[in-house]
Amino acid sequence: MDSVEKFALSIMLLFGALIVGGLMAVGIAWGDKPAFLYALAAAIVVWASAFAVLFGRPPIYGALLVVAGLLVAASITAIVT
């Protein structure tokens, strides 16, 4: 496994599982459906961005990370409000 594959794997595991998984858990525990769905969408986008890293597409990777960041912000906003 080369460094690009390790980086893509760390994106999938760390960001997707820990941060977004925690937002999903809060959405489920508090019964906040929009927060859960935004977090789920962010997890899917981040998972897809790992493939952009594997195939060497930095602009696509950057755009997907921006979308994921917006979805995480939307999830946090849904939880807070």
Asked whether 73 and 38 are in contact (CB, 8 A), the reply is no
| pLDDT at site 6 | 80
Buried b (16+ CB within 10 A) or exposed e, 24-50: bebbeeeebeebbbbbbbbbebbbebb
Kindly report, residue by residue over 38-60, the tens digit of the pLDDT.
Answer: 999 998 898 888 888 889 888 99
Q: Write down the mean pLDDT value for the chain.
A: 87
| pLDDT at site 1 | 63
Burial class of 64 by CB neighbour count within 10 A (0 to 12, 13 to 18, 19+)? buried
On whether the pTM is more than 0.85, the answer is no
